[in-house]
Chains A and B, each alone.
Chain A
Amino acid sequence: MEDRHRMHNFRSNTLPAIVMVGPVTLFMVLLVAVPLIYVAVMSFCSIDDNYNVVFQFTWKNYVRLANADYMKIYGQSLLIALITTVLSLLIGYPFAYIISRSDSRWKKLLYMLVIIPFWTNSLIRIYGWRTFLGSNGWLNTALQALHIVKEPVEFLFQRGTTVLGMVYCLIPFMILPLYTAIEKVDGSLLEASSDLGARRIITFFRIVIPLTASGIFSGCLMVFIPCLGYFFVSEILGGGNSDVIGNLIERQFQSGNNWPLGAALSIILIVVTLVLVKLFQKAGGNMEDLGM
Chain B
Amino acid sequence: MRMKRRKRTVLTRIRDVLFCAIIYLFLFLPISVIVVNSMNATTSKPYLAWKGFTLAWYVRLFDNTELLGSFRNTMIIAVVSTLLSTIIGTMGAVGMYKYKFKGKSIIDGLLYIPVVIPEIVLGISLLTIFSKVNIPRGMLTLILAHVTFSIPFVIFNVRARLAGYDNSIDEASMDLGANRIQTFFHVTLPVLAPGIAGGALLAFTLSIDDIIISYFVNGQVKTYPLRVMESIKSGVAPDVNALSTLILIATIVFVVLTQSGILNKNKKR
- Verify A28–B33 contact, CB threshold 8 A: no
At the interface, yes or no: A1 with Cβ under 8 Å from chain B? Answer: no
The reply to whether the CB of A208 lies closer than 8 angstroms to some CB of chain B is no
For A290, the closest partner residue in chain B by CB is B115
Question: Do residues B228 and A39 form an inter-chain contact, with CB atoms below 8 A?
Answer: no
- Are A137 and B48 closer than 8 Å at their CB atoms? yes
Contact call A114/B30, Cβ cutoff below 8 A: no
Shortest Cβ distance from residue A140 to the other chain B in the assembled complex, whole angstroms:
11
Main secondary structure of the interface of B (DSSP, over half): helix
Whether A116 touches B110, Cβ cut-off 8 Å, given contacts A20-B91, A24-B91, is no
B92 within 8 A of A: yes
Taking A31-B126, A34-B129, A262-B124 as contacts, is the C-beta distance between A221 and B27 under 8 angstroms?
no
Contact, CB under 8 Å: B125 / A36: yes
Nearest CB of B to A239, in Å = 12
Please name all residues of chain A whose beta carbon is closer than 8 Å to the beta carbon of B23 when the two chains form the complex: 91, 95
Q: Are A28 and B110 in contact (CB under 8 A)?
A: yes
A269 contacts across to B, CB distance below 8 A: 117-118, 120-121
Partner of A128, one of B33, B125, B129, B202: B33
CB contacts (< 8 Å) of B121 on chain A: these are 36, 39, 229, 249, 266, 269-270, 273
Min Cβ gap A141→B in Å is 9
Q: Could you tell me the distance in whole angstroms from the C-beta of A118 to the nearest C-beta in chain B? A: 7
Across-interface contacts of A112 in B (CB, < 8 A)? 255-256, 259
A-B contacts counted at CB < 8 A amount to 247
- A residues within 8 A CB of B145? 31
A116 touches B251 (CB 8 A): yes
Assess A263 versus B128: contact at CB under 8 Å? Given A28-B151, A128-B34.
Answer: yes
Contact A266 to B255, CB < 8 A, known contacts A120-B248, A121-B209, A127-B236: no
Contact-residue bracket for chain B: 35 or more
Nearest-CB residue, chain B, relative to A272: B118
Give the residues in chain A near B119, CB-CB below 8 Å.
Answer: 226, 229
Q: Which residues 71-107 in A have Cβ within 8 Å of B in the complex? A: 91, 94-95, 98-99
A122-B31 in contact (CB<8A): no
Q: Chain A at the B interface: mostly helix, strand, loop or mixed?
A: helix
**Is the C-beta of A246 less than 8 angstroms from some C-beta in chain B?**
yes
B-side residues, CB < 8 A to A, are 16, 19-20, 23-24, 26-34, 37, 48-49, 88-89, 91-92, 94-96, 98-99, 101, 103, 107, 110-122, 124-129, 132, 144-145, 147-148, 151-153, 155-157, 159-160, 180, 202, 205, 208-209, 211-212, 215-216, 224-225, 228-229, 232, 236, 240-241, 244, 247-248, 251-252, 255-256, 259-260, 263
Sorted nearest first, the 4 A-B pairs with minimum C-beta distance are A20-B95, A128-B30, A291-B156, A229-B118
A sample of 13 inter-chain contacts (CB < 8 A) reads A16-B95, A16-B99, A24-B91, A25-B103, A35-B125, A38-B132, A95-B19, A114-B27, A117-B27, A229-B120, A266-B125, A269-B121, A273-B116
